[in-house]
């Protein structure tokens, strides 16, 4: 395969990107992957994604609810009241139209967080809730079901109000509402997002409004399209992403203050740093609290090695030797700069590999498409400079791939923080797997200087796991590591 065919496969990725959804964040036309140029030396840090983009990518890529084996922690406002949890959707006595919608979405049973959150949200009298669990565990689906359950379809005004950090995230949640409410056609949904121009004083008839804080505030205050006093359920989704945007925190609190006493307040977040807590406590009075600890990655099922190299060419040769000796189902290769990533993609393509390249200059949908193709096994090698959403990407071989094959993570350059120091968390995210769902894996670190050797040693020490030397000139030795 020549470099041309690499370009062709990039074209292929891009056309997939165009079909992935209706969302347009930027025009894709100007987002072709650039060849190395002046800014080719940008480091990971400079390519850091904002949290909203990351969150959106997670949603575009995800196909399933994220399993979690940790215990749900529940803190009840009234510790004496009985704690309900459900194992089936039937137990919730949902309206038949909603139950049908839930099943049509392929949900067989409530997710871990939903087991506790749903009975709390559906209880009478309404209870306030702050819920935290990692991305993909079913928070959005849970509050969508609660909103749809609380609506009175015969009343033609907004009763449920949900705010989301960005236009794109609001549209994603809107889609979930539309899907789940598919058989409940009396309930209507309005989008309070930029570009949805409304005249002053025209009353909104839709029972559910989803939007971004600025537009929702305009609709409530300036344009008076929504009467906030009639809202029964208020949802603030992705609180962690919300507060990362300047101004959103204040706008959200202004909206919350207009709501009547007795309005049910619900707040969701994928992470819970102190700032999110402080914000949550201002938005949600007297809350019940549900927390589900993140399923941690471990290195227990990973064999780690390092290879000594002198140059990027050397690293590439080592990589070729590894490929020559073992059958690799899928590999993910991390480079420090775009320039290296581009170069390596070209080299590997010339060797006949089907390479996917993930780069910060691609628009969100293109990146989602690249990851999706890789996840589906359409490309076997993914080269990336992006550190941020890899923790959500599993490189375990998907079904259908021979179990004798291994999946490999290559640190073509070792992960570093922005000051050039070891970055344990990123190292773990790159090569770790979530414990019980983990399959065995192989990680190879390319060490090219005294400094990178020192860094490798700190990873070894930090995780207390041996990283053995691999001589890539010795094919027999490489073969052994695959066993
Ligand atoms: N009970 C369920 N059974 C099967 N799939 C589910 C269930 N609940 C949610 N899902 C699916 O799991 C995925 C993640 O759900 P959801 O978007 O609600 O998670 P989330 O916790 O809100 O994630 P994020 O923090 O990224 O917003 C979605 O594809 C959703 O359709
Ligand atoms: Mg969500």
Q: Find out if CATH 1.20.840.10 is the number for domain 70-293.
A: no
Looking at the DSSP bridge assignments, the partners of residue 288 are 129
Per-residue pLDDT, 405: 53
Distance 313 CA to ligand 1 centre (A): 43
Distance 181 CA to ligand 1 centre (A): 16
Q: How far apart are CA 470 and CA 325, in angstroms?
A: 13
- Residue 374, class by beta-carbon neighbours within 10 Å (0-12 exposed, 13-18 middle, 19+ buried)? buried
Atom of ligand 1 minimally distant from the CA of 134: 25
Same-fold call for 19-55+297-481 versus 70-293? yes
Nearest CA to ligand 1 atom 15: 138
Query: What does the CA dihedral 9, 13, 18, 21 come to, rounded to 10 degrees?
Result: 160
Distance 137 CA to ligand 1 centre (A): 5
Per-residue pLDDT, 132: 97
What does DSSP say about strands 381-384 and 328-334: parallel, antiparallel, or unpaired? parallel
CB of 417 within 8 A of CB of 458?
A: no
Nearest CA to ligand 1 atom 12: 65
The residues near 329 (Cβ < 8 Å, ≥ 6 apart) are 380, 397, 401, 402, 405, 406, 407
Nearest CA to ligand 1 atom 6: 65
CB of 10 within 8 A of CB of 347?
A: no
Task: Assign domain 19-55+297-481 to its CATH architecture.
Answer: 3-Layer(aba) Sandwich (3.40)
Nearest ligand to the C-alpha atom of residue 138: 1
Per-residue pLDDT, 329: 84
pLDDT tens over the chain, length 483 residues: 333 444 344 444 444 444 333 443 333 333 333 333 333 343 333 334 578 888 888 888 777 888 888 999 999 988 888 888 999 999 999 999 999 999 999 999 999 999 999 999 999 988 999 999 999 999 999 999 999 999 999 999 999 999 999 999 999 999 999 999 999 999 999 999 998 888 888 899 999 999 999 999 999 999 999 999 999 999 999 999 999 988 999 999 999 999 999 999 999 999 989 999 999 999 999 999 999 998 887 888 889 999 999 999 999 999 999 999 988 888 999 999 989 999 999 999 999 999 999 887 788 888 888 888 887 888 989 998 865 444 444 444 333 333 345 588 999 999 998 899 999 988 988 887 665 555 678 999 999 999 999 999 999 999 999 999 999 999 899 998 877
Per-residue pLDDT, 434: 61
Per-residue pLDDT, 439: 66
Where in the chain are the domains? Answer: 19-55+297-481, 70-293
- Residue 49, class by beta-carbon neighbours within 10 Å (0-12 exposed, 13-18 middle, 19+ buried)? middle
Per-residue pLDDT, 438: 58
Pocket of ligand 1 (CB under 6 A): 55, 58-59, 62, 64-65, 105, 107, 110-111, 114, 135-141, 270
The candidate with the shortest Cα–Cα distance to 166, out of 330, 23, 292, is: 23
């Amino acid at each position: 395969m020549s470099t041309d065919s690499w370009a062709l496969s990039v074209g292929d990725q891009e056309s997939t990107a165009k079909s992935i959804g209706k969302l347009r964040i930027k025009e894709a036309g100007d987002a072709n992957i650039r060849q190395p140029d002046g800014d080719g030396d940008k480091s990971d840090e400079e390519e850091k994604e904002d949290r909203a983009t990351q969150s959106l990518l997670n949603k575009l890529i995800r196909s399933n609810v994220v399993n979690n084996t940790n215990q749900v922690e529940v803190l009840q406002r009234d510790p004496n009241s009985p704690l309900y949890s459900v194992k089936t959707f039937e137990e919730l006595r949902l309206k038949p139209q909603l139950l049908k919608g839930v099943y049509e979405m392929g949900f067989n049973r409530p997710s871990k967080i939903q087991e506790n959150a749903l009975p709390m949200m559906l209880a009478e009298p309404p209870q306030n809730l702050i819920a935290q669990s990692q991305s993909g565990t079913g928070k959005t689906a849970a509050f969508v079901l609660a909103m749809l359950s609380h609506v009175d379809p015969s009343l033609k005004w907004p009763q449920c109000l949900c705010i989301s950090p960005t236009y794109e995230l609001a549209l994603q949640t809107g889609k979930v509402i539309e899907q789940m409410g598919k058989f409940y056609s009396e309930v209507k949904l309005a989008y309070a997002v930029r570009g949805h121009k409304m005249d002053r004083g025209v009353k909104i008839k839709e029972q559910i409004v989803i939007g971004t804080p600025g537009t929702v505030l305009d609709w409530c205050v300036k344009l008076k399209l929504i009467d906030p006093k009639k809202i029964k359920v208020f949802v603030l989704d992705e609180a962690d992403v919300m507060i990362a945007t300047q101004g959103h925190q204040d706008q959200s609190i202004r909206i919350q203050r207009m709501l009547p006493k007795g309005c049910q307040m619900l707040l969701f977040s994928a992470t819970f740093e102190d700032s999110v807590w402080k914000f949550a406590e201002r938005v949600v009075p007297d809350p019940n609290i549900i927390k589900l600890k993140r399923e941690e990655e471990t290195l227990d099922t990973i064999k780690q090695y390092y290879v000594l190299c002198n140059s990027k060419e050397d690293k590439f040769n080592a990589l070729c030797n590894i490929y020559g000796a073992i059958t690799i189902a899928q590999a993910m290769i991390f480079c420090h700069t775009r320039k290296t990533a581009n170069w390596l993609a070209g080299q590997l393509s010339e060797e006949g590999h089907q390479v996917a390249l993930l780069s910060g200059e691609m628009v969100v949908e293109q990146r989602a498409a690249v990851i999706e193709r890789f996840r589906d096994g359409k490309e076997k090698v993914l080269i990336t400079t992006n550190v941020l959403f890899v923790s959500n990407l599993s490189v375990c071989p998907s079904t259908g791939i021979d179990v004798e094959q291994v999946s490999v993570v290559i640190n073509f350059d070792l992960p570093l923080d922005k000051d050039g120091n070891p970055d344990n968390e990123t190292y773990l995210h790159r090569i770790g797997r979530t414990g019980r769902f983990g399959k065995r894996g192989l990680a190879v670190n390319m060490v090219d200087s005294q400094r990178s050797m020192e860094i490798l040693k700190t990873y070894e020490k930090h995780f207390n796991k041996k990283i053995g030397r691999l001589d890539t000139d010795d094919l027999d030795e490489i073969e052994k590591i695959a066993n």
